[in-house]
Amino acid sequence: MNDSYAKGLLGHSTAGEHERLLLLEKLCDPGTIRILERLPLTRSWTCVDVGAGTGSVARWLADRCPEGQITATDLDTRFLESMPRPDNLAVSQQDVTTTDFPANSLDLVHARAVLTHLPYPEIVVQRMSSWLKPGGWLVIEDPSYLPAQASPYPDFAALLLACEKLLAQTHGTDNSWARRIPRVMAEARLTNLKMSAELSACGRDELEDAYWRQCFSQAIPALMTSGLMTEQQINRAIEHLDQPEFTDIAWMMVSCWGQRQ
């Protein structure tokens, strides 16, 4: 297993990571499903969800492609193994940077919030494109945190910036990746490229706040031990979430999809 992800802040053994991923899927699935519904999905498509996390997208695909075959892959499959799943949904422990599916074998490859954490995402896009049948679709979604410094709440800006630095230090997460996706997909000779973006804001609704509170609480010990923030600074930033007038854009989920020629 790729140790750096597994041992980092977002590793599946980290306390609260299962809850965070369940909140992430609730937050992001409606946007992902809107995109998947724009594709010419048939009942017999063969699909792979890379870095499937807790498996909700793979389960949705299995439901929509009952005569097809769906594979949910992840570096760490513990949350996938425990989910109820139909016969057309397989779980496979794989590192997308080192393993392959046969060339020209898939109708759809989807990866959400995965490539931003990988060291050479461009190579992974090339690799995933090669798995597609001619006419098959690649859907890549990754968050962009916008410039954290631009937040009009300085305490909150400091927290977002510190989280970004922490993810870069512990996982190699690259916040600039999302902006490069369209170019990299074009370079992989994918056509019919389409894009969309969904904002996630703090202080807007209960689900979003629950997600962000979970992220921050998971990060607190590492933020303090790494010296990126003191406890008082963190508390001042998080207190914003209790103020009814507070709202701030936290990220933008950038989604791009394209078709193999």
Ligand X SMILES: C[S@@+](CC[C@H](N)C(=O)[O-])C[C@H]1O[C@@H](n2cnc3c(N)ncnc32)[C@H](O)[C@@H]1O
Going across the sheet that includes 89-93, the strands are: 89-93, 69-74, 46-50, 106-112, 132-144, 248-260, 190-202
Reduced to 3 states (helix: H, G, I; strand: E, B; else coil), residue 182 is helix
Collect all residues with Cβ–Cβ distance below 8 Å to 121 and sequence separation of at least 6.
Answer: 115, 174, 177, 180, 184
- Give, in degrees to the nearest 5, the angle at Cα 54 between 253 and 72: 95
- Shortest distance, position 165 Cβ to ligand X, whole Å: 18
Stretch that binds ligand X, among 67-75, 100-108, 131-139, 198-206 (CB under 6 A): 67-75
| Interaction of residue 36 with ligand X, rule CB under 6 A | no
| Interaction of residue 74 with ligand X, rule CB under 6 A | yes
| Interaction of residue 24 with ligand X, rule CB under 6 A | yes
| Interaction of residue 59 with ligand X, rule CB under 6 A | no
Stretch that binds ligand X, among 23-31, 35-43, 155-163, 177-185 (CB under 6 A): 23-31
- Shortest distance, position 177 Cβ to ligand X, whole Å: 13
Choose between 25 and 208: whose C-beta lies nearer to ligand X.
Answer: 25
Name which position in 31, 53, 121, 136 contacts ligand X (CB under 6 A).
Answer: 53
- For the beta carbon of residue 126, count every other beta carbon within 10 angstroms: 14
Choose between 49 and 240: whose C-beta lies nearer to ligand X.
Answer: 49
Phi, psi dihedral angles at 63 (to 5 degrees):
-70, -40
Whether the CB-CB separation of 238 and 164 falls below 8 Å is answered with: no
Instruction: Identify the sign of the CA torsion 54, 58, 62, 68.
Output: negative
Whether the CB-CB separation of 135 and 106 falls below 8 Å is answered with: no
- For the beta carbon of residue 164, count every other beta carbon within 10 angstroms: 16
Choose between 81 and 239: whose C-beta lies nearer to ligand X.
Answer: 81
| Interaction of residue 61 with ligand X, rule CB under 6 A | no
| Interaction of residue 209 with ligand X, rule CB under 6 A | no
Find where tokens 């509170």 sit: 213
Choose between 115 and 158: whose C-beta lies nearer to ligand X.
Answer: 115
| Interaction of residue 91 with ligand X, rule CB under 6 A | no
- Shortest distance, position 242 Cβ to ligand X, whole Å: 26
Residues 170-189 that bind ligand X (CB under 6 A): none
| Interaction of residue 208 with ligand X, rule CB under 6 A | no
